[in-house]
Amino acid sequence: MRFAFCLFKYFPYGGLQSDFLNIALAAVKRGHQVDVLTRSWEGDLSSEFSVELIQTRAWTNIGRDEQFIDNSLSFLKERSHYDAIIGFNKMPGLDVYFAADPCYAHKMRTKSRWSRLARRHRYRESWEREIFAPEKKTRILILSEQEKQHFQEHYQTPDERFFFLPPGLNQAKLHECQSPLARGKIRKEFGLRDDDFFILMVGSGFRVKGVDRSLEAFASLPQALQKKTRMIVVGDDRPQSFFRMARDMGIEKQITFAGGRDNVADFYQAADLLLHPAYRESAGKVLLESIVMGLPVITTDTCGYAFYINQAKAGIVLASPFSQKELNEVLRESLSSSQQLAKWGKGGKSFGQEQDLYSLAEKAVTYIEEAVLKS
């Protein structure tokens, strides 16, 4: 079969981008041909599939997305030989949509009337409706029950159009990356002593991941505890405004923005706690990567994969509505109990050995194949 995979942009450190790449490679491994349509590609190009760069010239993100959609649909219309069109961002004309992004309509429900009248909002909602409206035919690969409920609340999408995927952790890679030397190596690189507490944040999109919430929680720690604690943020984003926030709080010397890194697994092994108080997150693979490597997690229930943390007894999930005071207290209490951190770490490792957290790409390709056969 020949598939067209569409996504706005590819860069090496995004969760959506990682899932896209794994699904594309899994499809090729099964003998399918994959052509990728995107408006930008950062990093090495795979020799396993072709990449078509769709030109856009708009000045704004929404303008570039709009042009990408229009130009992609024209490209696909001229080359009508694809068995299925699979989208990793919301757009019309899809046979299958991989729902990595949260429900936009649900996100906007609390915004002002003026925000909802903006051009950006009108386009984003219309693209989402093209996929989820009850009369549409697009199959939806969904990552969590929470996100399915959000989409159905706003669009009344029938149950039979949703297909659940397990998380897509790379079990072999995580196993290969585990090294008894990793903890000491990373701590030495960032000047941490053996008895220092190391709080880790991972993810591109610092605002959505709740870096501001983490900085406030860090600043609230008792002085004695704060002095022996460091926070390192790994991810590909612009840290300037958050560094200024840390400076205003007087904690800038204990906060490091390490940029995007290929050796994230080493950071999991070196850290004592993953902090992920995200505003919203349709899944949150970083949560699962952390716990299966024995790193406890503090997160929010707005993350689709947060329920796994409770199931594994591998940390704390903060309930909505979010309370900064509660996060501050939970962080202080967690860092004050090495015994509790160790218990959470053990729970996560055991959970990773017992559950299927790894077959997302293979299941996604199966659902795409079935969509073609049943069309």
165-213: per-residue pLDDT in tens?
A: 999 898 777 776 778 888 999 999 999 999 999 999 999 899 999 999 9
Same domain, 125 and 156: yes
Give the domain range for residue 145: 2-166+359-374
- What three-state secondary structure class fits 328? helix
Structure tokens at 49: 């599939």
Whether the bond into 321 is cis, omega within 30 of 0: yes
- The per-residue pLDDT for 127 is 97
Same domain, 160 and 287: no
- The per-residue pLDDT for 119 is 80
How many domains, the chain? Answer: 2
Q: Between β-strands 315-318 and 297-300, what pairing exists: parallel, antiparallel or unpaired?
A: parallel
Same domain, 233 and 123: no
Mean pLDDT, residues 36-47? 94
Question: Considering the chain, what percentage of its residues have pLDDT values greater than 70?
Answer: 98
CA torsion sign for 366, 359, 310, 150 is negative
Mean pLDDT, residues 252-278? 95
What phi and psi, each to the nearest 5 degrees, are found at residue 298? -115, 120
111-139: per-residue pLDDT in tens?
A: 777 766 678 899 999 999 999 999 999 99
Query: Closest by alpha carbon to 365, among 35, 30, 17?
Result: 30
Same domain, 302 and 344: yes
Same domain, 192 and 327: yes
Same domain, 138 and 269: no
10: Cβ–Cβ under 8 A, 6 or more apart, which residues? 17, 20, 21, 36, 38, 40, 41, 42, 43
In the block, tokens 């072709």 appear at 50
How many whole angstroms from its chain centre is CA 219? 26
Same domain, 86 and 31: yes
- The per-residue pLDDT for 79 is 74
What phi and psi, each to the nearest 5 degrees, are found at residue 312? -80, -10
Mean of per-residue pLDDT scores for the chain: 94
Which amino acid type is present at position 108? M
d(CA 352, CA 355): 6
Mean pLDDT, residues 21-30? 97
How many whole angstroms from its chain centre is CA 284? 5
Q: The domain spanning residue 40 has which CATH number? A: 3.40.50.2000
In the block, tokens 């090729």 appear at 28
What Rg do the C-alpha atoms of the chain give, in angstroms? 21
CB atoms within 10 A of CB 345: 21
d(CA 102, CA 148): 9
- The per-residue pLDDT for 245 is 97
Same domain, 143 and 175: no
Same domain, 63 and 152: yes
pLDDT greater than 80 at residue 309: yes
Measured in Å, how far apart are the chain's first and last C-alpha atoms? 13
> Which one-letter DSSP state was computed for residue 57?
-
Which amino acid type is present at position 37? L
Query: Closest by alpha carbon to 232, among 254, 206, 203, 208?
Result: 254
Same domain, 211 and 338: yes
Same domain, 258 and 157: no
pLDDT greater than 80 at residue 296: yes
CA distances from 137 to 20, 141, 306, 375 (A): 21, 13, 30, 10
In the block, tokens 């490091």 appear at 256
Mean pLDDT, residues 208-221? 98
Same domain, 38 and 126: yes
60-118: per-residue pLDDT in tens?
A: 999 999 999 999 999 998 877 899 999 999 999 999 999 999 999 998 887 777 766 67
